[in-house]
Amino acid sequence: MTEVDALRPLAAVLVSLVATGLIIASYRRPNVRDSWSVLAALAKFGIVASMLPGVLNGTVYVSNLGTVLPGIDFVLRADPLGMLFATLASLLWVFTAFYGIGYMRGLSEHGQTRFFASFAASLSAAIGIAFSGNLLTIFVFYELLSVATYPLVAHDETAEARAAGRKYLAYTFFGGGVLVLAGTVLVYWLTSQVGQATVDFTAGGIPALAEIAGSDPNAASITFMILAIGFGVKAGLMPLHQWLPVAMVAPTPVSGLLHAVAVVKSGAFGVARVVLDVFGPELVFQLGVGLVLGTIAAITLTAASLIAIRKDHLKQRLAYSTVSQLSYIVLGLSLFGWYGLVGALLHIPAHAFMKLTLFFCAGAIHVETHTDYISQMAGIGKRMPVVMGAFTIAAAGMAGIPLLAGFVSKYYMLIGGVQMGGFALYLVGALLPLVS
């Protein structure tokens, strides 16, 4: 790959941050304020999309903002893995921006300026995570994402919403973030032992980390698990998932942001970076930590699916479904083989489109019927046939029904589970297409 200095990764981060200020400045003019959200979403996607042809041809766009510590720069890099997440987040924000305007106006929600400003800031942090060139940079944006999304979770300003916001911060900011920072420090310290101190993402893993793991595998294993759990908090791995269902007190566009566009995907993306670009799949396999991570993911996806079935509140059912689906991605990353990794990465966009559709439908149902409880939705299919038709297709894709996106990603993970050879993961792999 060829690295090229460019401002576009930085511009992709800053465009919605600038829009945040413009949205706040236009609080007296709702139409202008909402237009900034749409324009920023279109501009962000345009900037990201402009880098796609080059990245596909082997070019990596780099924005280096300076050295923080010896061997550590604050750098943004638009590489293939980052482009996957950035393209997904920026594209889905375009649809969410239009949907959010209609939803907030349809319910005459209060605090709309704060809502759209926080939304724009959240997308800046999400793109920063996508284009982070090392563990320090991703840590900074990982924490900024938690701060930016807190006002969205606590938007209703009720006691329940404030409690949900505090729990969200406790888990994602003070819990997951601290672990990611600790893991970053450990990686820097371990690599410094062989005179190559770095936390830069490297395709296939950091060579110095693999070297030190040969002499001190326990330290390397502990470092991996700290980083994996730190990112796993946002990915909803049990028992660190409890912030996610309570956060459903937020407006539906926020639920879409949390589950499809930014927050939980940032956790899954972080795990992918650790497996692919920090330790590397081969070292993860040699250390045996992938089996531990895969077991946690398998337990999470099974338990979350069973809990989801029992939930009468539609958004909470979808929340537990997200906990389950994100664990598929983590499980695929822990399967080591090519099929498992491809299935995991395919499931990131597949789940995003399907889950965002489900939450959009849930929001439409709420605006139309003013209820969120499934037991009170008798006859909803006849009343809202188009919405429920879209809901059915998205739900079928989530369950892995053939001819839909969810089937393709789960099929690859099924093959990866069989190739793995472990009985427990083989059993989970055999059930992958059947668990929603």
Would you kindly state where each structural domain of the chain is located, as residue ranges? 301-436
- φ, ψ for residue 193, nearest 5 deg: -65, -25
Characterize the bridge pairing of strands 59-69 and 72-78.
antiparallel
Of the two residues 176 and 89, the one the predictor is more confident about is: 89
Confidence of residue 158 (pLDDT cuts 50, 70, 90): confident
Confidence of residue 312 (pLDDT cuts 50, 70, 90): confident
The neighbour count for residue 264, using CB atoms within 10 Å, is 26
State residue 426's pLDDT score: 45
Sheet of 72-78, strand order: 2-5, 59-69, 72-78
- Token pair in block for residue 67: 């050295």
Confidence of residue 294 (pLDDT cuts 50, 70, 90): confident
Check pLDDT > 80 for residue 268.
yes
Check pLDDT > 90 for residue 186.
yes
Distances (CA, A) of 137 to 23, 89, 147, 184, 232: 26, 18, 16, 10, 18
What's the chain's average pLDDT?
84
| Most confident among 139-148, 204-213, 231-240, 365-374 (mean pLDDT) | 139-148
Check pLDDT > 80 for residue 254.
no
Least confident of 42-51, 248-257, 280-289, 394-403: 248-257
Confidence of residue 433 (pLDDT cuts 50, 70, 90): very low
| Contact (Cβ atoms closer than 8 angstroms) between residue 270 and residue 126 | no
State residue 27's pLDDT score: 86
State residue 425's pLDDT score: 52
State residue 257's pLDDT score: 65
Check pLDDT > 80 for residue 435.
no
Mean pLDDT confidence for 240-263: 70
User: For 357-387, how does the pLDDT look when each residue is reduced to its tens digit (9 = 90+)?
Assistant: 888 888 888 878 887 888 888 888 888 889 8
State residue 130's pLDDT score: 92
Mean pLDDT confidence for 13-25: 92
Query: Which residue in 364, 325, 330 sits closest to 100, CA to CA?
Result: 364
Check pLDDT > 80 for residue 157.
no
Separation of alpha carbons 277 and 292, rounded Å: 19
State residue 248's pLDDT score: 67
Confidence of residue 245 (pLDDT cuts 50, 70, 90): confident
What's the farthest any 2 CA atoms get from each other in the chain?
68
In the chain, the N- to C-terminal Cα span, in Å, equals 38
Residue in the structure block whose two tokens are 């672990």: 179
pTM: predicted TM-score of the whole model, two decimal places: 0.88
Check pLDDT > 80 for residue 250.
no
Q: What is the CA radius of gyration of the chain?
A: 21
Residue in the structure block whose two tokens are 């700290």: 226
Separation of alpha carbons 400 and 342, rounded Å: 16
Check pLDDT > 70 for residue 43.
yes
Instruction: Write out the DSSP string of 242-272.
Output: THHHHGGGS-HHHHHIIIIISHHHHHHHHHH
Instruction: Write out the DSSP string of 172-221.
Output: IIIIIHHHHHHHHHHHHHHHHTTT----B--TT--HHHHHHHHH-HHHHH
Check pLDDT > 80 for residue 87.
yes
Mean pLDDT confidence for 175-199: 86
Mean pLDDT confidence for 319-343: 81
Instruction: Write out the DSSP string of 16-28.
Output: HHHHHHHHHHTTT
- Token pair in block for residue 32: 């202008």
